[in-house]
Structure 1
């Protein structure tokens, strides 16, 4: 085992409890384990099981990567590890530009005031975000979490510490449709997950973001994969790449939150939601985050006069 250590500085007002809550959705914690002050996350990186251990202090995240490999095999992982850590602690998207953009907005400014410092926590990798989007779409959250757990136990690997690690594409590509459907996957979900994994594993689909950060090519490539639609792509851009301008107009919860915000009897349709969100470009991801959060808010301060 090889240990790597470093500390990520945290911005003022950082909300560690949000991060811990995000990673505690699966009460059984096969690949994520949380405490009051930190979390452990298991992932597979370039064939090696890795556990990322994060302990929060008042101004930093003290991080340790426990890698089931020797020093000669981990050097190339350091950039991937740093990226994964930025994702899982929610440091990829800065919430301040959106807060400034919407500071005088009569509808969203009250949401921002009720949730100052709200951040978007991500999956450790684009592949994890994509597979979770496929697994969780159009089913209730408890069932989706159970499917995800089963998926990790089927395709993932156990770290030497006992924590299970979320699989890479090469691990998933070895599975058959029947292995997934035997664990309550629908055939359509199983086929889409395996299709994605095999394309990535065989090098026909790259999930690497270009140096310029333009997501257009990745979006088009993903939309060309049978079974992956605009909602899954936008979710992957949000949770996998930390893209700041995702339009989540196809998300039912976003439309429900907008209905509540506008005080209307019915949900706005996707076209109207897309048009409404466009005013917050290039920060639509944070607009979506505040809309999601508003569904659970009890008291929202009124708009400024």
Structure 2
């Protein structure tokens, strides 16, 4: 099969290559998926660049997310079958075979059935962004019904699905963006109130809409501390899913006074039971038609270097390979 691989970490143009390698067979508890879409997340290029770990022991096929069709089922797998359309998450986590290839072998639970009518583009967009959004919101729809949620960066991948999942659960959603173009994307996802944080009076505008929020899905804690604390109160939970170049200094007294809870989310370390609950919520939302794909930029597998560089340079929407 054709696959993008790297054998050492470094710049995309220096270490990524498309090669012919042997298609793997699924082992116990695994399935093999014929990949139709391979989606790229920021952690994919950061891992390849060596920012999050070490060189692979032999080679690594990158990319955690994607969509495709199961074409082989390993022993002991009873709830997946050949011919089933699926969306993938965490494919390359602890696994040599990510989705940047014609075929991927992975644990069966990481290949989630895609319902009839759901597009491959939507399936490829889900994965890490949607499951991260679910975990930030605690995969607890009943608690969100009637709640107010603030989503920082509503035009980003996690922000997009945080908006849609919160709305699906019955919350009202405020989001912050950096441009009118991104504001339109957030409105299309269902945000009730959109604020450009680069304009003067952003905090006052948010507080004018809601003096206190119940949940905050945060992409840049240091940059947004003043806004978060301005609308936080007893019971407010701030879930932080991304880091910044410099660690923020926390104003401990202000946090204590607000009685807010600060929680950090990195999907790769989430407990299996919690991860399963997150995936189940996303799966249900897809089946209900509540989630939509991000605007997509597509590349061929041979253009994996350009595709990863596009994500590294901050592309808006979802960049994906079509093998």
Q: TM-score scaled by structure 1? A: 0.29
More strand by share: 2
Q: TM-score scaled by structure 2? A: 0.28
More helix by share: 1
